[in-house]
Homo-oligomer: A and B are copies of this chain.
Amino acid sequence: MGSYRSVMTVDPPPETGTPFERAARDFVIDQVWSRPGLSRRDRRWVTLTCVGAADAPQSIEDQVFAALNSGDMTIDEMLEFVLHFAVYNGWPKGSHLEGVIRRQWSRIQSERGLDAAIRPPDNATLGSTDWTERIAEGTREFIEVNLIDAPAPETPYIHAGILNFVFGHIWQRPGLCRRDRRFITVASVAVCDAALPLASHVGSALESGDITKAEMDEIVLQLAAYSGFAKGEALHYTAENAWARLGHRDRPGH
């Protein structure tokens, strides 16, 4: 119970006693969320990404409310999250998520008798206006994040998309630290299960040390709970292979 409250920030609804509901508490809350090894805030990034990608209306409302109401995430962090989420999961899902965040934030603030106003971002935050410099920065950031060479800007997707926008801007925005962006990105590519991006983002998250293997193992379980064990299994094997490729034969901590 206490643990349900600490995750959802409200008391659990009255038991209706279905197998699903029982397992949702005994397994998801007591055996996943309650685990050490990953902070509640880090579990929220994974969970918010999973429910946002699943278009599960009630879960999105509940998880967004819990993230804001718990104070684990600020409104600015949540709004920055939507932008990063939209890049990896598509703008339509981002659009729905943004609406929920703004509605839940208004609700929380008005219940607290506080102002729900949002600080509009300044155009200066949009970064360099010299395209040559911007592509160069995007190339540097791509290498730093992915730990591999950057592709040449020879297609619209790579040029206008990846180097100019995704790495030329999004990953460099100060609104979220790179470690936070890694959690959101790893969960996003695992949910969308495109094999190559999955392997590269899981591998670079581990190789960079931004996410330890023990933390990645917790991400796998958290994601399996919210996006299903099928996608969880794909992420699990991807992480194991990446870990082995990095020259680790035995288990972390051994």
Contact = CB atoms under 8 A, between A and B. Distances in A.
Interface of A: 15-24, 26-28, 31-32, 35, 37, 50-51, 54-60, 79-80, 82-83, 86-96, 98-99, 102, 118-121, 123-126, 129-132, 134-135, 152-162, 164-166, 169-170, 173, 175, 188-189, 192-198, 217-218, 220-221, 224-237, 240, 251
Given A96-B197, A161-B91, A226-B229, A19 B192 contact: no
A9 B120 CA distance: 26
Interface of A is mostly: helix
Contacts of A24: 86, 91, 94-95, 224, 229, 232-233
B92 A19 contact: no
Given A56-B96, A59-B233, A157-B86, A123 B129 contact: no
Contact of A155 (B54, B82, B130): B82
B161 A96 contact: no
Contacts of A131: 123-124, 126, 129
The oligomer's copy count stands at 3
Contacts of A57: 96, 195, 234
